[in-house]
Homo-oligomer: A and B are copies of this chain.
Amino acid sequence: MKKLINDPSDVVTEALTGMALAEPGLRVDADQRVVYRAEPKDAGKVALVSGGGSGHEPMHGGFVGFGMLDAACAGEVFTSPVPDQILAATREVDRGAGVLHIVKNYTGDVMNFEMAAELAAADDVQVQTVVTADDVAVEDSTWTAGRRGVGVTVLVEKIAGAAAEAGLSLDEVAALARRVSEGGRSMGMALTSCTVPAAGKPTFDLPDDEMEIGIGIHGEPGRHRVPLAPASQIAPMLLDPILGDLDFTGGEVICFVNGMGATPELELYLMYGEIAKLLQEKGIRVARSLVGSYMTSLDMAGCSVTLLRADDELLRWWDSPVQTPGLRWGR
């Protein structure tokens, strides 16, 4: 295993320690493993808490900041954060207007966020939850009942974060987050496995001449393995299942091409070009795009595509200023 780490069991704590030193806009509780904004948002505004297993950076800790999350709870690599962490974060960030939990659909995450939400409610902190489940690759999977939550989570955090910053109520922010979650679909692929530090070896074996279509963000199985193919053939393998699941025809979309961690930007832009060409052929207009490694799987090579149905309201929130280590614009 070739990694820039010390003891594998210290990876998350040490990375959070480094992040705290590098990012003055963040405050990190290294004991609880919660990343907060250094400067909490104004009283009376809805707060957003997300989190999940580590290894998907910049998601979620890198999305804490103005216009996006108020706190992110980091679990061990590919392991859910515990209810105590989530409860601490929820209590801490509540500014009197309630807290939205943004949770990817994995069994442990859903259970632990639910438990934390109940405990917070007992403390009179209002909590609403949106669960993302946008991965069209598989129904029920190794780690989930129902579909996995993947790329749309980044878009939910951005859009709901903007609405919360603007002062919308908890009901309104939650409804918006659910609308984004329901209007987004994703599909990923891997050229290589990832290696979890504590495991010390690749999560799965993938021959040199094969790729995995429909991969999960923990390296869990996708739809099928197929021979390596050029980008022009990979693009429809990702896009067709998305378009087959939700009708995007005639509308506008936000198109997000995401790298899985070890994919050069050169390849991501090239893939974006292939996806954009197909969308144009199908009469689907790209209103906004996002290309980069925003929701990763450690050192996996590969990419995912997320499409989100866009409208003027969503685009206004999308364009609103955001200032986080992982996503910044307009301020």
Contact = CB atoms under 8 A, between A and B. Distances in A.
A266 B234 contact: no
> Size range of the interface on A?
35 or more
Interface string A310-331: 0000000000000100001111
Interface centre among A17, A77, A270, by most chain B C-beta atoms within 10 angstroms, is: A270
A273 interface: yes
Contact of A296 (B11, B77, B264, B323): B264
Contacts of A54: 266
Contact of A22 (B23, B263, B264, B276): B276
A267 B15 contact: yes
Given A22-B291, A270-B11, A4 B331 contact: no
A121 interface: no
A6 B232 contact: yes
A208 B262 contact: no
A154 to B, nearest CB: 14
A261 interface: yes
A299 interface: yes
- The A interface, classified by DSSP as helix, strand, loop or mixed, is mixed
Nearest to A3: B267
A77 B270 CA distance: 14
Contacts of A62: 265
A133 interface: no
Max count, chain B CB within 10 A of own CB: residue among A55, A231, A264, A276? A264
B15 A191 contact: no
A259 to B, nearest CB: 9
B5 A265 contact: no
A263 to B, nearest CB: 7
A152 interface: no
Contacts of A4: 191, 231, 234, 263, 267-268, 270-271, 302-303
A231 B5 CA distance: 5
Nearest to A230: B6
Interface string A4-33: 111100011011111101110000000000
A192 B329 contact: no
A200 to B, nearest CB: 12
Given A4-B231, A4-B268, A22-B257, 16 more contacts: A2-B191, A2-B192, A2-B211, A2-B301, A5-B230, A18-B271, A18-B272, A18-B273, A18-B276, A19-B272, A62-B265, A261-B262, A262-B262, A264-B298, A265-B296, A299-B301
Interface of A: 2-7, 11-12, 14-19, 21-23, 54-55, 57-58, 62, 77, 191-192, 208, 211, 228, 230-232, 234, 257, 261-274, 276, 286, 289, 291, 293, 296, 298-299, 301-303, 323, 328-331
